[in-house]
Amino acid sequence: MHPELHRPVTLDRVGPAGLHVVVEASSTECAALAHRMNLPAVLTLNCTFRLERDAGGALVARGHLVARIVQTCVISLEDFTATVEERFAVRCVPEGEESDDGDPASLDEITYSNATVDLGEAAAEQMALALDPYPRAPGAVLPDLPDDVEAPSFAALAALRRRH
C-alpha cells in the first residue's frame, strides 16, 4: 500500500549533475494528508527537491516545502489558515542501513528500497515535522485571570492528594 502522497524516483535518474524534482499534492492527496495529520484541511502542498550525491556517494535531498493548511487554534478552538514553509536536507539510505548516529547536527535520514526513493512521503514527513504542535490563530491571546483568583499551589495540591 502506498502512502497518501506517493512520488517514487529511481536512483539511477540522479546523474552527476543531480536531479530537480517538484512534488505537488492533488486535492485528493491533500485531503488524505489532512486526515493522516489530524488537520481540518491541507489546502496545498508543494515541495521542490534537489537530489545530489555527496563526496561519499550517498544521495542527499535538499528540499523547500510550502504548504497552506487549516489548523485549530489551541486558545479559541477556531480554525484558521496558516502557511508552513521549511527548508531541509536529508540523506537517503537503503532500508536496513540507517545509522544510529545520535548527533543532532547530522542530517536526518529517509529510507528507500528497490533503488527507489519516495519523495512524496519525504515531503509529507517534512510537513508533519514543521507543524506547530500548539497552533495559535493570529491575535489569539490567553484570557487574563481575575486578580482575586489564586492559582493552586503545590502545597494545596498535596493536601488534596493526602485526603484521598
Can you say how many angstroms the Cα of residue 162 is from the centroid of all Cα atoms in its chain?
43
Separation CA 18–CA 4 (nearest Å):
26
Query: What is the chain's pLDDT, residue by residue, as a tens digit (164 residues)?
Result: 678 999 999 999 999 899 999 999 999 999 999 999 999 999 999 999 999 988 777 899 999 999 999 999 999 999 999 999 999 999 998 888 777 776 777 788 888 889 999 999 999 999 999 999 999 998 888 877 666 556 556 666 666 667 65
Looking at residue 109, its pLDDT comes to 85
Please report the pLDDT score of residue 55 as a whole number. 79
Q: What is the pLDDT of residue 145?
A: 65
Identify which of 46, 4, 5 has the alpha carbon closest to the alpha carbon of residue 23.
46
How high is the pLDDT of residue 139?
Answer: 87
From start to end of the chain, where are the E strands? 8-10, 19-24, 41-53, 59-72, 79-94, 108-112, 116-118
Counted residue by residue, the chain has a size of 164
Locus of grid cell 484570557: 143
Q: What is the pLDDT of residue 151?
A: 59
| pTM, 2 dp | 0.81
For the chain, helix, strand, coil in percent to 5 are: 20, 40, 40
What phi and psi, each to the nearest 5 degrees, are found at residue 152?
-65, 140
